A and B are shown apart, each in its own frame.
Chain A
Amino acid sequence: MNRYAVAAIYKFEMARTKRTIFQSIISPVISTSMYFIVFGSAIGSRITEIGGVSYGAFIVPGLIMLSLLTQSISNASFGIYLPKFTGTIYELLSAPVSSFEVLLGYVGAAATKSILLALIILATAHFFVPLEIAHPFWVLLFLVMTAITFSLFGFIIGIWADNFEQLQVIPLIIITPLVFLGGTFYSVSMLPPFWQTVTQFNPVFYLISGFRWSFYEVADVSLITSLCVMSGFLAVCLLAVAWIFKSGYQIKQ
């Protein structure tokens, strides 16, 4: 294991967050705070409790998940796309570093950044709503697994993308709608039967449901189902990344 290389990539990526603190941390925190104000305070005051949880508190896990998913993808995709764009990837390709070590550096840094952000948002939520965490271990497990899975997904997008527009298109067109339609702001049981069925095909719905259960023991599906879906998506991402490194897709000529 080339641990110095892993540490170099990890530190390099983490340092980028420090340089872009507004974009990486402050901006997502402000956006999420707006959600708390608009949905939690303004609209939430007109909605009764859901599953015994106040509306403001109910949306907290979904909002954390929204930031976690989008930031994991954004951090990892940007992290690997930038060397491709600037041409500095030559150094990565000519270094005595394995594909796994490259992945460990980039995905590790992207996941760390998004987990830190999630924790900051969780702390921010305390200012707006009374929070309780029923199962801290499961909260942490969901945070870590989701951050790793979607950082891997972001890494794949970063490898696939040929320009900055492609880098943004998947998060904007696919991920954000999936999060919004995955039960961030409502319980799926509030939807008409047809849309309840449609929601079953949204993988993000299972993540939010499982994550929310960790807070309030309130969920749309069982914890095991959530874990299975998340593990399945993680496995798919790992297989895709393994294929990318083996084939050299979009990396080597």
Chain B
Amino acid sequence: MQPIIQITNVNKVYTSGFKALDTINLAIKPAEIFALLGPNGAGKTTLISTICGIIDATSGQITVDGKDIVSDFRHTRGLIGLVPQELATDAFETVWTTVSFSRGLFGKKPNPAFIEKTLKSLSLWDKKDNKLIELSGGMKRRVMIAKALSHQPTILFLDEPTAGVDVELRKDMWQLVRQLRDDGVTIILTTHYIEEAEEIADRIGVIKNGQLILVEDKVALMNQLGKKQLILDLKEPLTEIPSSMADFNLQIKNDGLQLIYSYDTTNEHTGISVLLQHLSASSIAFKDIKTDQSSLEDIFVSLVRETT
């Protein structure tokens, strides 16, 4: 399948000499949700801004729908909607005016019915005549999304879309993002909330110091890098691990009342049944048993630390 966005050897060096993007290569598939993770200043917004034409790349090439973003900017930009990180709005304009303006700016003829549908889908219809200055932060965020969707883009960039919004709105937005993906829209989002990427992304990219250090399918990533732990709550405290179980990756915690076994989910044999047999043979009784898997956040933190 031809990628909807192809980024090849893209570099961005600011006039100050700061290298914000370092030889980025990335292909985004149509109708996927791609989450770009990275610490502050890693280059997430610079990458998005470069694809959208807000920032010029120093070198390299970006194509959208097979067309170069510089020489074919009318075609490529017409396909893209952008929700920036900052709540940049015309404070004294009404919701209706500002969303209609965005549609016109992107070369689409006026379509009040579509604007109405968009505003209703974002629960903004009853605010259509309100000035933006009168809206809450969460409502302004919805307006930014409505503006980005006003010209019916096939690619949507969401730069920190749920920063500073409440849990309810965040879940509404996740639902909207899934709905858009189901409608065939490609979504690229940056986020600081790892749970957001874990919840909705199909693929994950991790960027650090302007370099894309990892691009992987989310499930595969969690399977590859995810460690699983078997946690046993013991009846009696254990002072040391019996020598017969020295080969197991065991840790004693909680004043000897917890025995933790770390294992790899990708191995053919996890070793759990053998461990349980050893425990029984050593007369170590337990009252509860549970498992825990590392989250995407653990994986992200460990990846970023590794490359430091």
Chain A contact residues, CB within 8 Å of chain B: 2, 4-5, 7-9, 11-12, 15, 19, 82, 86-88, 90-98, 248, 252-253
Contacts and interface: CB of A to CB of B under 8 A. Distances in A.
B101 A8 contact: yes
B107 A88 contact: no
A8 B105 contact: yes
Nearest to A3: B107
B88 A15 contact: no
Contact of B109 (A4, A15, A86): A4
B86 A96 contact: no
Contact of A92 (B14, B15, B73, B105): B105
Interface stretch (B25-33, B50-58, B178-186, B197-205): B50-58
A87 B86 contact: yes
Interface in B27-83: 49, 52-56, 73-78, 80, 82
> By DSSP majority rule, is chain A's interface helix, strand, loop, or mixed?
helix
B58 to A, nearest CB: 11
B295 interface: no
B114 interface: no
B130 interface: no
12 contacts: A7-B104, A8-B104, A8-B105, A12-B101, A15-B97, A86-B89, A86-B90, A88-B90, A90-B82, A90-B88, A94-B52, A95-B106
Given A91-B147, A96-B77, A5 B105 contact: yes
B293 interface: no
Contact of B106 (A5, A19, A82): A5
B97 A96 contact: no
Contacts of A97: 105, 107
A12 B97 CA distance: 8
Contacts of A19: 92
Nearest to A87: B88
Contacts of B82: 90-91, 94
Given A5-B107, A95-B77, A252-B55, 7 more contacts: A12-B101, A19-B92, A93-B53, A94-B80, A96-B106, A96-B107, A253-B55
B278 interface: no
B117 to A, nearest CB: 19
A91 B146 CA distance: 13
A96 B54 contact: no
Contacts of A8: 100-101, 103-105
A86 B80 CA distance: 22
B91 A86 contact: yes
B147 A4 contact: no
B74 A2 contact: yes
B92 A4 contact: no
Contacts of A11: 101, 104
A53 B15 CA distance: 59
Q: Which 10 residue pairs across A and B have the least CB separation, nearest first?
A: A8-B104, A87-B88, A96-B77, A94-B52, A96-B74, A96-B78, A95-B105, A2-B107, A93-B54, A4-B104
